[in-house]
Structure 1
């Protein structure tokens, strides 16, 4: 086991170092794609814990992202309490958790498609509130997002001026490292939860409620707790999205966003932190890339041109919709499961180290027992 842990830890460190490099080489467009992907990965991890580990279907993830995004804008802005941005960000995450807690009695007693329909109502209710509560949300036009400041350091373009190794660090470069830090926090806390006793209880609950109840798992309590934790991850993702967009509008937090998050965890693999992250990058980056390179793609209309069969956003949805169909047919456990099976096959054909090969010489035959002489 230790032989496998060392390469994984080395790979994790190398990946972390590689993710610190992009601000020195990529322009703002690619950094924005990375920021949106990091925010989506945080939210997708929360939904993967709920759907993949606890076995609960939710179509209301967009509602909790909206609570996190608008909660930060209201807590840190004016009108609002005008709290310090760090406290406002933490308060927005807690506010999303509180919203999940208010809904948790329903989540604790309803499951499957019935829970999906119940959470679907949250999206429509939330969208209505975002449009009508003008004093808090700004109505149809939304709200501008107050910049995040930590100890006098602002995640903005020029306040203060910052140059690292000759590269001027603007808002995207600074937010990139903030997004990495929040994603690392999400990664380690979610992995710790999965490997803990509550995580094993949720897995048992997903496999069989009856068996979990026999083992002493409080089924309604754990279901409700999973919903609250997932809502808090969604709230954190909403805060990072708001900081990346710099303005939040109600139309972004629609049912389409919830469906996108379901696509992320299905493509990546239910119940997998790494799989949810990969699925989030795929679903988030694909439409942005197709929008930028639409004029070079066949049958795709460039934005505003009116030419071509479909727009880049619709084409991207067709593509990852087809990816979902292919994965459900040939890899029901998603990309994470496919990667695990591929590693197992490669390990099976890996040549053994000298001295570790099992001996092929035939084992000596057991000595024949002397016959008993009968009188």
Structure 2
């Protein structure tokens, strides 16, 4: 009998060097190395790329934050919401009003602003967006599915109306400029103070890139840890069955309120980053189309997957900007006013087609596709080996009771 099959005294067979356990260890080491490599690339990228890519990257980072927040609400807890644009508007307008200046020239003389530090405006924008979500949560706790979607859609129309009519705060139809962001005297909106790294001047685009990277990374890590915690498992149980969640001790109404609060705070931060990205706020920027774009992000990336939401945000946000940048060389795509298909319209066609293909062939989205390749790599022979334990980005784990059942929460 060979040494590989001789059982040890504890009744377990010895594994030969280089066997399945060695392959598993190699795979477990490969993923952290890939993450570190990606972070290094993102950190050194501003030293080598043009300003267009850095500004596109900051817009993508803002979209990643908003997509992760919406995925916590829709993908993890199963609550359909079309009001994400409204909560982005709350964050953007709050930041602009709290940190903006009063007065101006001509019709701008009626503008009002508190002129507080931008970091205060950012915090207030996030908190007010969370408060708006918390105020709407009692409605969300009593509705499900398409009824919740229609009710949340009303917030978007209310938000657009307020943006058009509340002129001293929002600037009305023409909007108003967003104040530059600064932190402890270090400005991100201009080159003051001057900063050079390896001979490369770090101007507005480079500074905003690192600001967006830090905020998006913090949002990603928080969401991942949330899904690994008891509240995260309770939300996954809530998505599968509210009755089962209530029986197992999950306070359904309380958790619906909490996830709306967290998702709205994510949206508020995304709204602040959106205002910083384009330099202004305007009513047409926060309409229904924006909510639909965020839904497209999480569907393409994979419902319930934090990493998938980030990938979907990269695809949906960067595509129109890249098309516009290279409209002169892309077939059928043209710059605005030159005939042909506009860059934004072409991008919507493309990610609309991608959504159809995802729904038909890979409902798990980009995250599901990546998981399929990983599973195929673990079992190249196609045998029936047991798969890996599901993580926070995969199918829900066994629910853990976290609260006493709420009275009247056993909705059907």
Alignment of 1:55-66 (within 5 A): 55-66=78-89
Equivalent in the alignment of 1:20: 43
Residue number among 299, 315, 319 corresponding to 2:346 in the alignment? 315
The one of 7, 10, 14 aligned to 2:33: 10
CA distance in 2, matches of 1:33, 1:110: 37
Corresponding residue of 2:147: 114
Distance, in Å, in 1 between the alignment partners of 2:333 and 2:198 is: 40
Of 318-327 and 286-295, more deviation after overlay is shown by 286-295
CA distance in 1, matches of 2:48, 2:275: 25
Query: Residue 407 of structure 2 corresponds to which residue in structure 1?
Result: none
- TM-score, normalising length: structure 2: 0.82
How far does the alpha carbon of each residue in 1:295-320 deviate from its partner, in whole angstroms, 9 at most, with x for none?
22222232221x22x21111110110
CA distance in 2: counterparts of 1:291 and 1:319, whole angstroms: 14
2: CA distance, partners of 1:297 / 1:14? 32
1:344 aligns with 2:367: no
Aligned length: 348
Secondary structure at 1:83 match in 2: coil
Q: Any residues of structure 2 matched to 1:167-246 within 5 Å, and which?
A: 167-246=200-279
Is 1:270 equivalent to 2:293 in the alignment? no
Please state how far the C-alpha of 1:148 moved relative to its aligned partner.
1.4
Q: Alpha-carbon deviation of 1:110?
A: 0.9
- Verify the 8 A CA contact 1:157 1:169 in the aligned structure 2: no
Output the CA distance in 1 between the equivalents of 2:68 and 2:225.
13
Q: Secondary structure at the match of 1:56?
A: coil
Question: In the alignment, which residue of structure 2 is the partner of 1:285?
Answer: 318
| TM-score normalised per structure 1 | 0.90
- 3-state SS in 1 of match to 2:220: helix
Q: C-alpha separation between the residues in 2 aligned to 1:65 and 1:242?
A: 9
Residues 62, 123 of structure 1: 8 Å contact kept: yes
**Separation in 2 of the partners of 1:145 and 1:301?**
30
Residues 220 and 347 of structure 1, relative CA distance in 2, 3 Å threshold: same
Looking at structure 2, the residues matched to 152 and 26 of structure 1 have their Cα atoms a distance apart, in angstroms, of: 27
**1:241 positional shift:** 1.2
SS at match of 2:328: helix
User: Structure 1 residues 216, 242: CA separation in 2 closer, same or farther (over 3 Å shift)?
Assistant: same
Partner of residue 356, structure 1: none
1:34 aligns with 2:34: no
Following TM superposition, by how much is the alpha carbon of 1:4 offset from its aligned partner in structure 2, in angstroms?
4.5
Q: In structure 1, what is the Cα distance between the partners aligned to 2:189 and 2:342?
A: 32
CA deviation vs aligned residue, 1:252-277 (integer Å, no higher than 9, x gap): 11100000000000000001110000
How much has 1:156 moved relative to structure 2? 2.1
The 8 Å contact of residues 154 and 160 in structure 1, kept in 2 or not, is answered as yes
How far apart, CA to CA, are the structure 2 residues paired with 1:84 and 1:311?
39
Unaligned runs of 5+ in 2: 1-23, 102-111, 382-412
SS at match of 2:334: coil
Match of 2:361 among 330, 347, 353: 330
Match of residue 102 from structure 1: 135
Q: Which runs of 5 or more residues in structure 1 are unaligned?
A: 351-375
Match of 1:163 in 2: 196
8 Å contact kept, 1:205–1:212 = yes
CA positional deviation for 1:52:
0.4
